[in-house]
Amino acid sequence: MILSIIAGICLGSEFLSPLKIFKIKYLEDFERKIIFDLRLPRVMAGFFTGGGLAITGAVLQGLLKNPLAESYTLGISGGASLGICIGVIIGKYLCIPLFGFIGGIISTLIIVIAGSKKNLSNPSLILLGVILNFIFSSFVLFILAISERERFQQSFFWLIGDLSYFPYFLFKPAILIILFFSIFILTFSRQLDIISIGEEKAKTLGVESEKVKKILFIFSSIITGSCVSLGGMIGFVGLIVPHISRIFFGSAHLKILPVSFILGGCLLTLADTIARTVISPIEIPVGVITSLFGGLFFLFLLLRKKT
């Protein structure tokens, strides 16, 4: 974790020696600005965004007992992306993350309400999320088609994931929300273990699985909305990190959840560092890097499984 943060601070169009970071009083004024005004906030935003996406992915995979479950496959991302595009159309930059947050919450409420009233099974909830994503994506494409070129480019970077333009007024609130609800989710580790075994087992052990599901769905959507407000639509982190955590630390959620948070934060921080430096001074949106490595990771798992 420390190494990924140091790498994120030191590497960029202007390389800073790691030794200088620990000698703050000897830094030049421009070096202080680079570290404290540009890179450190971006590294922190990347770490907590990656951690938030990873822990929600671990929670949703445990709740639905599906290895492909995460905030994006459940339609939360679709709602957030539609909210982002609406914020862009309105034309006020400060509205973009707020509308993305609201969109993620609304899509989660749709899933929770539909799941409780129609008593949908876990695979049906995944299917509902995919359907919602298709519906939201249709509206997103429509909005992009009628948008002006400048607004199209702005919304495009939000939709593919980018950590270079997050509003600083949301920096501290978003991080506090992600940290608070992630810690709160840890208190449900035992219930998650029991629900992962099966609904009948949960009932016999006195776990109100439906109530726990609703609470964790809402918590996950709040965290996801905060992550979207900082980094836009960053994919695959919430999908691959919980799998990596289970490979090395087993299936107990008391271990998986904090490990996923830390590993997800480190992964996104390193991915953003690569995005900033691989063809410097041009920056690649971090969503491109995470999608590339995520796709390669699942291809590796698929080939290994078949062999």
Least confident of 86-90, 124-128, 173-177, 248-252: 86-90
Mean per-residue pLDDT of the chain: 80
Residue 295 reports pLDDT greater than 80: no
| pLDDT on residue 232 | 77
pLDDT digits (tens, 9 = 90+) for 55-75: 999 998 888 887 777 887 788
pLDDT at 36 > cutoff 70 = no
- Looking at residue 244, the DSSP 8-state letter turns out to be H
Task: Please check the confidence at residue 296 and state whether its pLDDT lies above 70.
Answer: yes
Question: What does the pLDDT read at residue 30?
Answer: 65
For residues 237 and 178, the answer to whether their CB atoms sit within 8 Å is no
- Over the stretch 185-208, which tens digit does the pLDDT of each residue have? 999 998 888 887 776 676 777 777
pLDDT value of position 265: 92
Residue 216, CA atoms < 13 Å, CB-side half-sphere: 28
Task: Return the pLDDT at 92.
Answer: 63
pLDDT at 100 over 60: yes
pTM attached to this predicted model: 0.85
- Using N-to-C axis directions, what is the helix angle for 237-249 and 40-64, rounded to 10°? 70
Phi/psi zone of residue 91: left (φ > 0), alpha (ψ -120 to 50 degrees), beta?
A: left
What pLDDT does residue 25 have?
62
SS (HEC) of 113-131? HHHHHHCCCHHHHHHHHHH
Q: pLDDT per residue over 166-181, tens digit each? A: 667 778 888 998 999 9
Residue length of the chain: 307
Do residues 234 and 268 make contact, with C-beta atoms less than 8 angstroms apart?
Answer: yes
Check residues 30 and 288 and name the one with the higher pLDDT.
288
Q: Give tens-digit pLDDT for 256-278.
A: 999 999 999 999 999 988 888 88
Flag the least confident range among 24-33, 65-74, 238-247: 24-33
Percent of the chain whose pLDDT exceeds 70: 77
The candidate with the shortest Cα–Cα distance to 230, out of 10, 103, 12, 48, is: 48
Whole-number Cα distances in Å, 198 to 62, 64, 89, 261: 10, 10, 45, 25
Residue 306 confidence (pLDDT) above 60: no
Residue 303 has pLDDT above 70, yes or no: yes
Homologous superfamily, domain 2-306: ABC transporter involved in vitamin B12 uptake, BtuC (1.10.3470.10)
Neighbouring-strand partners of residue 279? 282
Return the pLDDT at 55: 94
Contact (Cβ atoms closer than 8 angstroms) between residue 39 and residue 31: no
Query: What is the model's pLDDT at position 73?
Result: 76
